[in-house]
Amino acid sequence: MSYRKLGKSGLFVHPIALGTMQFGWTADEPTSFAIMDAFVEAGGNLIDTADIYSTWAPGNPGGVSEEIIGRWMQSRGLRERVVLATKVRGPMGPGGSEGRNHPLQREGLSRAWIMRAVEDSLRRLRVDYIDLYQVHWVDNQVPIEETLSALTDLVHKGYVRYIGCSNFSAWRLMQALWASDKHGFESFVSIQPEYSLTMPTRMNFERELARVCETYGLGVIPYSPLAGGFLTGKYRRDQPLPESVRAQGIASGRFSEQNWKILDKVLEIADRHGAHPAQVALAWQLSRPFITAPIVGANTVQQLQDLLPAAGLQLGAEEIAALNEVSSWPLTRTEREV
């Protein structure tokens, strides 16, 4: 198994990363432990979480996923084998009736909150450093220079090894890279965008962000590479929705004639290889020159084991071309000329 370098960092990661948004939500702690055990046993090493996971589960405070990972890390003694990634930005509890304007706000990308949030994440994860600390999305109320300055200090303190971002547009990413270069701050080594074969996520990323990442050497660790489960084959035309907490959202956001055609092609190629459709979707993504490691989630060990073989699945040039064609979009004149 060939590990991949994450951007310009010194981190090398397995071609499939493990997302943990479901830990403490649709996967309880024993199941989460079993999933991480299976992931590491298969050679996986990049585990991605965030401080706000899993606040959407009824009764859950923030930090639940980090706490589960921390207890697992401590019980297994695997710190040196795991590339641990987490994120900061989202709301971690009320900051008073004034919300974001309250001096005790527990969210955002201000220096004050980042310094507090990283210590909380380190405590929950039961580690003394985080390999990849990512800003979860843009904070319009804080200058990017303040955020990057704080993150740079975390690297200098040894709390964080590298920094990355998630959900940044191309111009926001360029703004951050320019600020790092101008002021001598630490620079993002990776980005975590939403990206899959389906429309419009493929178009949204490839139109501009992919070019920025290739030009400036950022690693790309996309989330939702299976379009929320759409590309696993469990959704079919004119059939009832599967039992899933996300099914209604997938139906409203993914069901389109072009996406059904994409799924048909994925199923056709999967049948040819005797593979799971999700493996084909991930293998296509891994064939893209700008992709480092798609992030997959699993609610059971079996689901994870259905996905991991994608790292070794080699699609033929004609198959990749067919998937590119069915998931393509009309280029504007400007895009054709760039």
Q: Which residues are catalytic?
A: 53
Report residue 124 as tokens.
């929950």
By CB neighbour count within 10 A (0-12 exposed, 13-18 middle, 19+ buried), where does 208 fall? Answer: middle
Vertex 302: Cα angle to 298 and 307 (nearest 5):
65
How, if at all, do strands 160-166 and 190-192 pair?
parallel
Supply 272's token pair: 């040819």
Alpha-carbon distance of 195 to 26, in angstroms, equals: 22
DSSP designation for 79:
G
Q: Give one word for 58, left, alpha or beta, with left for phi > 0 and alpha for psi -120 to 50.
A: beta
Angle ∠(313,72,6) on CA atoms, nearest 5: 45
Cα–Cα distance between 185 and 143 in angstroms, integer? 14
Report the relative pairing of strands 4-5 and 12-13 from DSSP bridges: antiparallel
Which residues, at least 6 apart from 275, have a Cβ–Cβ distance to it below 8 Å?
A: 309, 313
Torsions phi, psi of 18, nearest 5?
A: -100, 120
